[in-house]
Amino acid sequence: WDKLMSAFSGSATQLVADVDCTAAGKPLCESNGVKGYPTIKWGDPSDLQDYQGGRDYESLKTFAEENLKPVCSPANIELCDEDKKKEIETFLAMADADLDAKIASEEKKISDAESLFESELQKLQSAYQKLMEDKDKTIADVKAAGLGLMKSCKAAKAKGSKDEL
């Protein structure tokens, strides 16, 4: 990571940095949804996205070269297509309270989706645990009922028929 930061240290449009989320950077990490370490974020500082690519130097360097550049945003509206320009203009024209309410509504959708996922994941984990316990009990019951002895008898019979030849 330090090598990548050095490679982009002089760039006027690309920033590669790290943040200590346990110290002074904690509020920044919390506001950007950093939940685990290491987490790599990229993009517009007011709308950082999760990086999903490789973690080796070459993968990170290639991604940075191809993606860390000015993108369509209110600060770079000239980089936007007509539809995005209209969308930005609509949001910029909204009263702050209305925009805050819209942001809160959209963030709630994400929060609700995450909560649903966690809830359903817990149900799956519970079902998995029960299935594992049932399977293990069935295997133990079958073995206790004589499966091993049956296999031994079959092997003995097979060996006995070879001895008769």
- Identify which of 70, 80, 8, 81 has the alpha carbon closest to the alpha carbon of residue 45: 70
pLDDT digits (tens, 9 = 90+) for 66-83: 888 888 889 889 989 999
pLDDT digits (tens, 9 = 90+) for 119-158: 999 999 999 999 999 999 999 999 999 999 999 999 999 8
State the average pLDDT over residues 19-33. 82
- Rounded to the nearest 10 degrees, how much is the dihedral formed by the CA atoms of 75, 76, 81, 82? 50
- Rounded to the nearest 10 degrees, how much is the dihedral formed by the CA atoms of 16, 27, 101, 99? -40
The residues, any chain, with a CB within 8 Å of residue 59's CB and separated by 6 or more, are 53
90 versus 13: which is more confidently predicted?
90
Q: Which residues pair with 50 in a beta bridge?
A: 41
CA distances from 44 to 15, 22, 47, 60 (A): 11, 23, 5, 17
